[in-house]
Amino acid sequence: MTADIHDIAEQRPHLTVTADDGVHVLPCELVRSVVAGEKPSSVLTEPVVRRIIEEWLQQVTA
């Protein structure tokens, strides 16, 4: 398996998402941009989107 690794030290704060395909560190601003419709959701992988939805659902149904 190969992965693109990017230094996001300057893009804080960030989220760590443990998805089926590994651990992803995402700048919060990237996720906010997707939510606002400024960036397409396709910038996030399917496993990451599923995990974010899973965690959100746990929060709203708890």
For 38-59, the pLDDT digits (tens) are 999 999 999 999 999 999 999 9
Q: How much is the pTM?
A: 0.77
The CA-based dihedral angle spanning residues 61, 13, 37, 55, taken in that order and rounded to the nearest 10 degrees: -20
- Contacts for 49 with CB less than 8 Å, ≥ 6 apart: 41
pLDDT at 1: 56
pLDDT at position 9: 73
Q: Which of 34, 19, 25 is nearest to 5 (CA)?
A: 25
Please compute the mean of the pLDDT values over residues 30-39 and round it to a whole number. Answer: 96
Nearest to 17 by CA among 34, 62, 38, 36: 34
